[in-house]
Amino acid sequence: MHPEPVRITVYHARQCDPKKCTTLKLKRHQFVWVVHQVKRLPGGSVILNPFSDRAFSPADRERLERRCLAAVDCSWMHADEVFELSMRGVSRCLPYLIAANPVNYGVPTKLSTVEALAAALYIVGFGGEAERLLSIFKWGLHFITLNKDLLDAYAGAKDSGEVVELQKAFMRDRLRETVKSQVGNKRGREELNAY
C-alpha cells in the first residue's frame, strides 16, 4: 500500500460489474483497503453517505487524518438498503457535484466511488491525492475539470453549514439559468412560428 495522508477503506457490497467497478480498480492499484462486511469499517471514520443529514466539509479533515475516510460501494438501485446498515463512524453527505463517470455522466450527485473519494479528498485539501486516485481512469481527471468551481468553493468553506449555503446558492443560480434558457427557447420558438 502506498503511504497516504489519509487511510481509505471501502465497504464493497459486491453488487456491481467487477469490470466497471472503480473500487476494485483502486484496490488493484493499492490505493484503498476493501472490506466485505460493514462491521469491518474502521470505527470513528468519516463515512461518505448520500443519505446523511450533515454535509461533508473541510472541518472533517482532522478526523480523516486521525481515523479514516470510508466509502460504500453498492448499486444505486440498492443504496437505501445498504446505507440503513449500522456503520461505525460519522456519516457525511457530499455536496452537489456532477458525475463524470461513463455510466452516469452529467447526472448530479450520482457519483462513482472513486469520484466520491476524490471529491472528499479535494474538499479537505488533498487535491493531489484526489487526482492520483482519478488518474487511473480514462475519464477520471475530467471529474475535477467538470466540478472545479464547485470543489474550490466547498474547499474554501469553514464547515458543513457553509457548504450547504454554497450548495443552495449554486442551485439557485443553476435554476435561474435554466429558467432563462427555457424562456429564451420559448421566445425563439414563438418568433420561428411567426414566420
Reference 95, options 123, 70, 69; nearest CA is 123
pLDDT value at position 173?
Answer: 87
Q: Which cell is 125 given?
A: 485539501
Highest mean pLDDT among 49-63, 99-113, 116-130, 176-190: 116-130
Amino acid 195: pLDDT: 46
Does the pTM surpass 0.75? The reply is yes
Give tens-digit pLDDT for 37-69.
878 888 889 999 888 899 999 999 999 999 999
106 conformational bin, left if phi > 0, alpha if psi -120 to 50, beta if neither: left
Mean pLDDT of the chain, nearest integer: 86
Q: What is the rounded average pLDDT of the residues 165-192?
A: 74
Higher-pLDDT residue of 93 and 21 is 93
Which string of DSSP letters, residue by residue, matches 60-125? Answer: GHHHHHHS-EEEEE--GGGHHHHTTS--SEEEEB--S-B--STTTTT-BT---HHHHHHHHHHHTT
pLDDT at 111 over 80: yes
pLDDT band at 175 (very low <50, low <70, confident <90, very high): confident
pLDDT at position 4 is: 56
For the sheet with 89-92, list strands across it: 33-35, 8-12, 69-73, 45-48, 89-92
Please report which confidence band the pLDDT of residue 77 belongs to, taking 50, 70 and 90 as the band edges.
low
What is the pLDDT at residue 88?
Answer: 73
pLDDT attached to residue 92 = 95
pLDDT of residue 186: 59
Mean pLDDT of 111-126: 97
Could you tell me if 49 and 92 are in contact, meaning their C-beta atoms sit under 8 angstroms apart?
Answer: yes
Whether residue 79 has pLDDT greater than 90: no
Q: What is the pLDDT of residue 192?
A: 43
Q: What was the pLDDT predicted at 178?
A: 75
